[in-house]
Amino acid sequence: MDTKALIEKIAVSHEATEEELIAVMESTESDDFLFESADRIRREIYGTDVYIRGLIEFTNYCKNNCLYCGIRRDNRNVERYRLTEEEIYQCCDEGYSLGFRTFVMQGGEDSHYTDEMLCRMVSNIKKKYPDCAVTLSLGERSEESYRRLYESGADRYLLRHETATAEHYAKLHPEEMSFENRMKCLETLKKIGFQTGAGFMVGSPYQTRENLAADLLFIKKLKPEMVGIGPFIPHKDTPFKDCTQGTLRDTLVMVALTRLLHPHALIPSTTALGTIHPQGRELGLKAGANVVMPNLSPTRFRKLYALYDNKICTGDESAQCRKCLEGRVSSAGYKIVTDRGDFRA
Ligand code: 5AD
Ligand code: FES
């Protein structure tokens, strides 16, 4: 079968084998057809809507030591920061007036914030803004903790699986971190009732085409409501500092294939994609993504939340990012909408 026919088959059936996925990844001549097919499916379900999520990076302390990540524990060159509760609420206030109806609280795994503090913040935000969704992105926690956060009102949880292949996972993480626990956390989040986000990096060290196919098949099986996909970008203070970054093309292909296999997914066009190419986020939208996540963190802390080098938007005010994205989204042919942007089953 030629690649176009294969893409068409995947677009209609939302199914593919590992071999078929690898065949699409390996042949570049049908890329435009792939992106157009993904865009068509996205438009059938979500029209031209693009949902915006206000990202609050509230702590860069992390007890983990992921080999790729700039805020890993062993990086002595980062100045660590934590936002106070009051500062977090201020981010939400500013975000709300800019039209955000989802707040994403993201941070390193930082035990300074106890369940009690986190639950209080979630419930205060939900009380003040009942028309907003609260998304958490706080890494691996116990089932008990996830439950308490859910009961305090959190709607969604993002936890990228990073790679669906255990052997590859072991090459990206220190021995103390376990692939099994990552997977268990994702199952638990779904079971509790969170709208759950998984996802992976494209072009991470040691990654093979087979690994990427496994990521796609894992997404197909787990059916997470959200899927975050971005290129790996080296960070100068990590063991992977000399590794090559993921490419624009490969990342766009993964976004598009995710749309074909899991049509209803909410897929952000990520900041990492915008970092490796000036039009990366626009191209992500045209390849099937339908979410953007601008930064709402206070500008003075933004540079300190550097998971990778050269991250964009670290000098901008929240209002600037909001405006900038408005232009980018509309130039790509879509429209930012300011509702919660829930998953459409
Ligand atoms: N390059 C790209 N993405 C990264 N992340 C962490 N470090 C990097 C990097 N060097 C991603 C991980 C994590 C998310 C918050 O950011 O996938 O889950
Ligand atoms: Fe931040 Fe463009 S999105 S400046």
Angle made by CA atoms 61, 67, 69, in degrees to the nearest 5: 45
Structure tokens at 329: 């989204």
Of the bound ligands, which one is closest to the alpha carbon of residue 274? 2
Instruction: Please give the pLDDT value at position 125.
Output: 98
Q: What is the pLDDT of residues 325-334, one digit of tens each?
A: 999 999 999 9
Pocket test for ligand 1, best of 307, 309, 310, 312 (most atoms within 8 A of CB): 307
CATH number at 194 reads: 3.20.20.70
Q: Whose structure tokens read 């500013």?
A: 94
Query: Per the domain annotation, does 13 fall within a domain?
Result: no
Q: How far apart are CA 7 and CA 318, in angstroms?
A: 39
Smallest CA-to-CA distance from 183 within 212, 206, 160, 209 is with: 160
Query: Per the domain annotation, does 10 fall within a domain?
Result: no
> What SS3 class is residue 196?
strand
Find the domain containing 311 and state its range.
26-337
Smallest CA-to-CA distance from 314 within 324, 304, 325 is with: 304
> What SS3 class is residue 288?
coil
Q: Mean pLDDT in runs of 10 for the chain (345 residues)? A: 96 98 98 98 98 98 98 98 98 98 98 98 98 98 98 98 98 98 98 98 98 99 98 98 98 99 98 98 98 96 97 95 96 97 94
Instruction: Please give the pLDDT value at position 8.
Output: 98
Q: Whose CA is nearest to atom 13 of ligand 1?
A: 160
Interhelix angle 115-128/85-97, rounded to 10 degrees, is 30
Q: How far, in Å, from the CA of 273 to the mean position of ligand 2?
A: 12
Pocket test for ligand 2, best of 325, 331, 336 (most atoms within 8 A of CB): 325
Instruction: Please give the pLDDT value at position 345.
Output: 87
Query: Per the domain annotation, does 6 fall within a domain?
Result: no
Category of 139 on φ-ψ map: left (φ > 0), alpha (ψ -120 to 50) or beta:
left
Smallest CA-to-CA distance from 251 within 206, 293, 202 is with: 202
Query: Per the domain annotation, does 19 fall within a domain?
Result: no
Query: Per the domain annotation, does 219 fall within a domain?
Result: yes
Query: Per the domain annotation, does 2 fall within a domain?
Result: no
Instruction: Please give the pLDDT value at position 302.
Output: 97
Ligand 1 atom at minimal distance to the Cα of residue 162 = 17
Burial class for 76, CB neighbours closer than 10 Å (0-12, 13-18, 19+)? exposed
Ligand 1 atom at minimal distance to the Cα of residue 308 = 10
Instruction: Please give the pLDDT value at position 210.
Output: 98
Instruction: Please give the pLDDT value at position 100.
Output: 98
Smallest CA-to-CA distance from 46 within 329, 245, 311 is with: 329
Query: Per the domain annotation, does 217 fall within a domain?
Result: yes
Q: What is the pLDDT of residues 54-98, one digit of tens each?
A: 999 999 999 999 999 999 999 999 999 999 999 999 999 999 999
The residues lining ligand 1, judged by C-beta closer than 6 Å to any ligand atom, are 68-69, 160, 162, 201, 230, 232-233, 235, 272, 307-308
The residues lining ligand 2, judged by C-beta closer than 6 Å to any ligand atom, are 294, 313, 316, 320-321, 324-325
Pocket test for ligand 2, best of 316, 329, 330 (most atoms within 8 A of CB): 316
Encoded amino acid at 297, one letter: S
- Number of domains the chain is built from: 1
Of the bound ligands, which one is closest to the alpha carbon of residue 104? 1
- Per-residue exposure over 115-152, b if at least 16 CB sit within 10 Å of its own CB, e if not: beebbebbbbbbeebeebbbbbbbbbbeeebbbbbbeb
Angle made by CA atoms 267, 52, 191, in degrees to the nearest 5: 55
Query: Per the domain annotation, does 235 fall within a domain?
Result: yes
Instruction: Please give the pLDDT value at position 1.
Output: 85
